[in-house]
Amino acid sequence: MIPQKKILFITNNFPPISDGVGDYTYKLTQNLVRQGFDVSILCSKKTDIINSKEKFSLENITVLPIVKTWDSKGLNEVKNVFKDKTYNYISLQYVPFAFNKKGLPIHLGKNLKNTFPNAIWHIMFHELWVAMESGASFKSNIHGYIQKRLINGLTKTLKPALINTHCNLYKHQINQLGYSATILPLFSNILKSQQIAPHIESHKKTNTIVLSIFGSIHYGAPISLFLDELLQVTQNDSNKFAKIKFIFIGNCGLNIEEWTRALKNRDIEFEITGKLSEHDISNYLSITDIGITTTPYVLVEKSGTVAAMLQHDLNVICVARDWNVEACKINHSTNLIGVKNYQNGTLEKIMNTPNTLVYNDVLNVSKQLIRELNKDK
């Protein structure tokens, strides 16, 4: 009988704590269990996670919410838990601000190496460093420089067999540090509902084009240019009876006010849903014609809300500020995962161009991870 392979994931938060990386890790581990892996999670010592341990054990996921702090003291306190345990792989789900409030997890690599001296490491870089964008402040640049040095030290210390990230920009930056990274595509944390609830389906009216923005809205999008061009495109001869409606799904943050003000000035109907269940989010995405993301274009590959819109077969348009990185010039006309990048004067072409969606579900992503781990061991 082939022994069951064991993998330990390290993440700061885990459900039911609301956290994108925690949700990502949970859905990924569920699929790894179904494929025969023995999965454990090392995460922060928080009451909500501790109270959910029994639920996870019923799914054959061992959750260890035992880390008070991610510094040397905190990891030394849990070291004895692992002295008799062995794993085929240990997967660090890295976000700098998850392991230190200031985003500066000093000696994290050294402390993890001390806790797991013989581990074969996998690192998933969900985030890298701040101030990657051209024109960042001097203070932010200093902060980002230190974070970059810490990532370099972490990687040099752990010597991971496999490094993954979600987007080509991050892959490029990791490669520039002298390490080899591959893309592990992001999947959606929002499952697609099989049936739309009547009270949500009624929100879509006949002859109405529904555009939805899901989740946090980033600042600096060319809102006025986009809306004026949208009105022009939808009022041409072929669409002269079409109306426009915007739906803001979930918690969109303070930058929603700039959008709603611009919509009111143009008498465009809109609706704000507020916080929703996963099922209702899926329902609203299902009645949407066009998804709008304000995430800068070079980062759309790492956006969970974009992944959710793609999973719901939406035509996704990026309406965002330019986000330029001196070290990496990604052509803004490049088609990243099927998302179309809006620039002034391009909307009619974008709306008339067939979708070329690129979406990977969690099953395919988990299988890719297994293949890459087995190859690099």
pLDDT at 352: 83
Report the C-alpha gap between 175 and 171 in whole angstroms: 6
pLDDT at 240: 58
Q: pLDDT for 345-375, tens place per residue?
A: 999 888 888 777 677 889 999 999 999 998 8
pLDDT at 337: 79
66, two tokens: 């035992």
218 pLDDT band, cuts 50/70/90, is very high
pLDDT at 1: 40
Which strands form 208-214's sheet, in the order they lie side by side?
269-274, 243-249, 208-214, 290-293, 315-318, 340-341
16 pLDDT band, cuts 50/70/90, is very high
Specify the residue for token string 């509902």. Answer: 193
Give exposure, 74-100, as e/b (b: 16+ Cβ within 10 Å). bbeeeeeebeeeebbbbbbbbbbebbb
pLDDT at 239: 57
Q: Are 332 and 297 in contact (CB under 8 A)?
A: yes
Pairing of strands 162-165, 182-183: parallel
Report the C-alpha gap between 7 and 162 in whole angstroms: 14
Please check the confidence at residue 257 and state whether its pLDDT lies above 80: yes
Which range of 112-126, 185-199, 238-252, 338-352 scores highest in mean pLDDT? It is 112-126
Average pLDDT on 80-107 reads: 95
Q: What is the pTM of this model?
A: 0.92
Mean of the per-residue pLDDT values of the chain: 91
Q: pLDDT for 20-29, tens place per residue?
A: 999 999 999 9
Please check the confidence at residue 2 and state whether its pLDDT lies above 90: no
Q: Are 39 and 60 in contact (CB under 8 A)?
A: yes
Kindly list the distances between the CA atom of residue 159 and the CA atoms of 27, 121, 178, in Å, as whole numbers in the listed order: 26, 7, 12
Average pLDDT on 306-328 reads: 88
For residues 243 and 98, which has the higher predicted lDDT (pLDDT)?
98
Strand, coil or helix: 123:
strand
% of the chain beyond a pLDDT of 70: 94
Domains identified in the chain and CATH numbers: 6-187+362-376 (3.40.50.2000), 198-352 (3.40.50.2000)
Average pLDDT on 234-242 reads: 67
191 pLDDT band, cuts 50/70/90, is confident
309 pLDDT band, cuts 50/70/90, is very high
Please check the confidence at residue 192 and state whether its pLDDT lies above 90: no
